[in-house]
Structures are given as structure tokens and as C-alpha cells.
Amino acid sequence: MCLWAAARRVCVARRRFGYNYEGGRGSRRPDQEKDTGMLTGSQVVGRVRPGRAIEGISAVLLPFDENGRMDANGLQANVARTDQAGLTPAVNMDTGYTNLLTPGERNAVLQATREVMGTRPFVAGAFIEGEAGSEAGGDPLPAYLRAVAEIQEWGGTPILFQCSAMKGKSDGELVALYRNVAAHCDKMLAFELGEMFAPFGQIYALDVVRELLQIPQLTGMKHSSLDRVLEWQRLDLRDRVRPDFKIYTGNDLAIDMICYGSDYLLGLSAFAPEAFALRDRLWRADDARFFGLNDLLQYLGFFAFRPPVPAYKHTAAQFLRLRDRIGCDAPPPHAARRPDSDVAVLRDVSERLDALVSDIMVAGVALSHGR
């Protein structure tokens, strides 16, 4: 059975599609229609495109030792494994505890990453919350410019984390801020973050997203609302306005969004970048074994990203430790933890994952390894 036939059986809408997320005060040209975001189930299923090449960016876990210190060697090993699997590493993300790091520590992460990657591409979070200008009513532009300059000096592509100062801005002011930062970048990514992850996060109106699509240096956006409908709306808008723009799903509870046209920047892929890369190759090869591997990875995602969601990083450390990828699974001080009893579940998933990947590799995959 071809992948397209299988996809049409399993890819059905999980909710009604009368959701209207227009809102916004962003300016539009007179010839631009108002974006209502209304979609039908048929439109969504029609998005499925087996054989499409997937761009995978994987957040990288920053491990710590028993004394709560950054494990630079463990970080570099995680970056190297991600790169060798064929995914682009992303550092100083939520998976890298960027909110708990000092500016100096984030710089050390950039340096360690550059030592591994050389001239190969990587992504890094431009996180400024807590710095001067990031507070409500503040001017975050100087802090963002410092952050993106530092990332680019080390050879990375910046992705802008939102901050508290952005929540009080009008739509026009938001777009202007992105334009001003992008003017100092060769390439930049945006990041929509739901408030369930951070109080400074926000999901933009579609009219704002449309305006962001007009910024040449802005080549993609990570979308982390955990809402399929909102992400489908952005994919539809992207296809109509700027088809080469990337929508990177950040939905670790719906990693099959790549079936509908999203690429990804996930924390879950930090657990097993090799398995994610293989899954992507199966999709590219129109191979129905994609679904079994995706299901097992999604099972891991549901377990890892259960409440309290921030504790998924400790789950990642537990998983990587039992697979001998890092030396210690302790999270940093004050970070959310998981119970030790989780390790038995993770061991079962790890063994099942290894067996499934082995079976797939023995049978062969049509496409060669790599990006």
C-alpha cells in the first residue's frame, strides 16, 4: 500500500473547522483579503504530500553534572549526534534551559557548538527575558540586537524568543520590531510561543503573521500553540503568500504535522535524533513504515510532555542517560523533575525503538542517509 493511500485513511480532522482567528491590527494592502483562517476537513487532508523532503531542526539538551554544573562535553556530544543524524542542531532553546542560563553561559554554549559544527549550520535562541528592555513597557530592540549579533558571530542562525515587552505592543509595533531586528541579520527565524509554556509568550493574529511573511530575512517561524488548527491556518497562509517560508511545528504532541506541510523544530527529537531522521527519510521515500515509527516516537512524546510540561527536559536526560548518551541525568537546580520510576517506562520505549529502527534498517530504506 502506498503512503498516500495510508495517509488518506489516518489523516482526519480532530475538531470542527469553524474556528475564526482573525483579529489583529496589522496593516494590509488593499488587495489582500481578510484572513479568517477557516478551513475544511477536506482542505486539511488535501495538504498531505508523501515524498516531500522534511527539514528537521532539533533542539539539543544541555546536560548538567551531579553538582548542577553545565556538562560542556555532554552538550557537544549531543550536538554532534544531532548533526551526524542529518538534523540541524538548535541550542539555547527551552530544551537547553536557556531561561536558567546567564548571558555568559549562553555564550559558552555558542562557543561549544561552533567547535563541533565548524562552518555547518546551527540555530540558536535569542533569549532576552530578564534583561534591560525586556520588561513590560520596555524597548527590547537593543537587547535583541546584541543577542542576534552574538549568535551570528559564532556562525549561528538566530531564532527570536518573545519577551514581556512584546506583549504590550500593537500589531504594527510588533512587525516593526521584527523588521528592525531582521535588518541586522542575514537570516532569522521567529517563534510563536503559547502562554502554557511561558507567560511572555503569545500567538499572533493571522494578519500579523501575514506581515511577518513579508520580511525577506525572516525565513521561517516556529509555531508552538499545541493547536493543529492554528498551525494549519499558518500553512495555508504561507502557501498563498510566500511558499518558500518555513513553518516549523513545535507541537511535540502532534509530530505528524510534517505530513501537512510543516517542517519541525522540536524538543522531542533531542531524545532520539537518529530515529527522527530515519522517520523523515521514510516519508521522503513514500514508505508506509513511516507511520509505525512516528507512532512510537509520538508515544514517547505523550509520556515526556505530560504535566508538568517543563519536566520533559528531565525526561530527556533520563532517556539519554539510560542510552549512555550522557553521563548524568540530574536536571539543574530549581528545574522541574520526574520520578525515578519513569526510567522503567523509558527503558521499554528505548528497547522498542531500537528494535523497530533495526528492523527498518535491515530491510533497507530507499533514500540515502543525510540532509
pLDDT tens track for 5-57: 433 433 333 333 332 333 333 333 333 445 556 789 899 999 999 999 999 99
Asked whether residue 306 is assigned to any structural domain, the reply reads: no
Distance of CA 281 to the CA centre of its chain: 18
pTM to 2 decimal places: 0.88
Phi, psi of 129 (to 5 degrees): -55, 130
pLDDT in tens, 332-356: 999 999 999 999 999 999 999 999 9
CB neighbour list of residue 172: distance below 8 Å, 6 or more residues apart:
25, 26, 27
Q: What is the mean pLDDT of the chain?
A: 90
CA 52 – CA 70 distance, rounded (Å): 38
The CATH number covering residue 151 comes to 3.20.20.70
pLDDT of residue 139: 97
Asked whether residue 363 is assigned to any structural domain, the reply reads: no
Asked whether residue 321 is assigned to any structural domain, the reply reads: no
Asked whether residue 273 is assigned to any structural domain, the reply reads: yes
Q: Residue 3: pLDDT band by 50, 70, 90 thresholds?
A: very low
The parent domain of residue 189 ranges over 50-287
CA 26 – CA 310 distance, rounded (Å): 32
C-alpha cell at 101: 542560563
pLDDT of residue 31: 32
pLDDT of residue 364: 83
How far CA 114 is from CA of 121, 157, 274, in Å, comes to: 9, 12, 21
pLDDT of residue 37: 64
The total number of structural domains in the chain stands at 1
Q: What integer is the mean pLDDT of 115-135? A: 97
C-alpha cell at 221: 517561524
pLDDT of residue 5: 44
Asked whether residue 281 is assigned to any structural domain, the reply reads: yes
Asked whether residue 219 is assigned to any structural domain, the reply reads: yes
Angle between helices 141-153 and 171-182 (to 10 degrees): 30
Q: What integer is the mean pLDDT of 121-145? A: 97
Q: What percent of the chain has pLDDT over 90?
A: 84
pLDDT of residue 368: 47
pLDDT in tens, 149-196: 999 999 999 999 999 999 999 999 999 999 999 999 999 999 999 988
Collapsed DSSP state (helix, strand, coil) of residue 249 = strand
Distance of CA 34 to the CA centre of its chain: 28
Asked whether residue 358 is assigned to any structural domain, the reply reads: no
Between 1 and 103, the higher pLDDT residue = 103
CA 144 – CA 141 distance, rounded (Å): 5
pLDDT of residue 365: 74
Asked whether residue 121 is assigned to any structural domain, the reply reads: yes
Q: What integer is the mean pLDDT of 124-140? A: 97
Which residue type, as a one-letter code, is found at position 93? M
